Structure 1
Amino acid sequence: MEEYLRASQVIDCQHPEIVNLAQKIASGHQSSTAIAKECFEWVRDEICHSFDYQMNPVTCRASDVLRHKTGYCYAKSHLLAALLRANQIPAGFCYQRLSIDDQGAPYCLHGFNAIYLPEIGWYRVDARGNKEGVNAQFSPPQEQLAFKIQFPEEADFRAILPEPLPIVVEALQAQTTWDGMLQRLPDVTLASANSYGLALDH
């Protein structure tokens, strides 16, 4: 589990502001499952999704997501992983390939998390932020993600990665505005998924 607890440049879980918030969220809770739930709900509800709120800047590093209180789904997953790891709870990264407008092509990656819970093992959660038509919850062992697969070219990749995909990090770091990012959302075709370490599961 070590690699799912590690600090990195993007998942800077040793940053003082991350550590302080992680401790504050965890206070009063005994079990890692209870702490994980609080971390998930905090990121889901307190960090504004960049597109939903049309907020700048585009964030990537976990501490920047916390500082600016905004991020795309990928960035929110970076902060959630950092808070969990700061509380010694293993956390990884998951992706789906989804239609951008729910009409078919074009497609993009959607990022969320998996958390290792002692009672059930890996449990996937999506902290992108709820809105009309999106109701992601923390209710193990039942999984309740934000989006379901609807089209043949969409995919639910079952891989749980210890670090965010480089193409996701590069896309976030290349943009400064929410609408600029919207035009350049990262994507992985189904044919190339294996080369990114993403196992296919329709």
Structure 2
Amino acid sequence: MAGMDTSPHGPLAPASADPADYLAADDVIDHGHPAIRALAAELRRDTAEETARATFEYVRDEISHSFDAGEWSCAYRASDVLAHRNAICHGKSHLLAALLRAQGIPAGLCYQKLEVLHGLNAVYWPETGQWVRLDARGNNHGADGRFATVPAEERLAWANDPDKDQYHYPTVYPATPPVLLAGLAEAKVGTEGYGYLPSEL
């Protein structure tokens, strides 16, 4: 039987050895923005675990996925996602990372190879020294992402289909990879679909 330190989706390792990189702000994970800071303060709870759960559930349930809403904002900068309250998975993962980092909780970006590149998050828990995946895509159309604090309990939006060469990448990125960022910048507001996304990293 697998231990609590074993993820059903494979191991994770940070791309950067500097923990500060997973608390940093940049042009996409812009957690210095006043709206991000204000919402982070509203979501703060008594413990880091309770805060992370409330933040994850807020992004999962209160920020619409563009496909579900039938409204394609093309927002991917965290503060823009919050303003539009609508984004694809990558925008939602940027917002979750920004809100967690604003709380002092180390958070990074993870990816899953589906038909196109799917974006999710990982949170670092200092008490155990483990990264744990979270997928705030939104639980519609069969998706079923849940909160977890140990790798063995990771429950993500979509299961891999090995027959379609689907898998999880093992890296936790502190910032959006350039190939993905270039694709996100090509999206057109109001245009359905994911044709601008890379199929893999």
Identify the match of residue 135 of structure 1 among 141, 144, 150: 144
Partner of 1:70: 86
Pair 1:166-2:182 in alignment: no
Whole-angstrom distance in 1 between the partners of 2:181 and 2:41: 27
Aligned residues: 179
- The letter for the 1-side match of 2:155 is Q
Whole-angstrom distance in 2 between the partners of 1:56 and 1:95: 21
Equivalent positions of 1:189-200 (< 5 A) are: 193=201
The offset of 1:181, in angstroms, is 4.4
Cα pair 2:132 2:148 within 8 Å, conserved: no
Identify the match of residue 96 of structure 2 among 66, 73, 80: 80
Report % sequence identity: 42
Pair 1:118-2:126 in alignment: yes
Whole-angstrom distance in 1 between the partners of 2:174 and 2:37: 19
The offset of 1:178, in angstroms, is 5.0
The offset of 1:71, in angstroms, is 0.4
TM-score, normalised with respect to structure 2? 0.84
Equivalent positions of 1:42-81 (< 5 A) are: 42-81=58-97
Structure 2, unmatched stretches of 5+, are: 1-18
Whole-angstrom distance in 1 between the partners of 2:175 and 2:38: 22
Structure 1, unmatched stretches of 5+, are: 99-106, 194-202
The offset of 1:180, in angstroms, is 4.5
Pair 1:39-2:50 in alignment: no
Name the stretch that deviates more: 36-45 or 49-58.
Answer: 49-58
- The letter for the 2-side match of 1:117 is W
Per-residue displacement from partner, 1:47-78 (whole Å, max 9, x unpaired)?
A: 11011112132101000000000000000000
Whole-angstrom distance in 1 between the partners of 2:144 and 2:172: 22
Cα pair 1:130 1:146 within 8 Å, conserved: yes
Cα pair 1:136 1:145 within 8 Å, conserved: yes
Partner of 2:14: none
Identify the match of residue 16 of structure 1 among 23, 34, 50: 34
Whole-angstrom distance in 2 between the partners of 1:76 and 1:24: 18
Change (3 A) 1:178 1:119: farther
- Larger fraction in strand: 1
1:114 aligned counterpart, secondary structure: strand
Partner of 1:145: 156
Cα pair 1:59 1:173 within 8 Å, conserved: no
- The letter for the 2-side match of 1:108 is V
TM-score, normalised with respect to structure 1? 0.84
Whole-angstrom distance in 1 between the partners of 2:34 and 2:26: 14
Q: CA RMSD in A?
A: 1.4
The offset of 1:165, in angstroms, is 1.7
Per-residue displacement from partner, 1:87-135 (whole Å, max 9, x unpaired)?
A: 010000000101xxxxxxxx21000000112333211000000014211
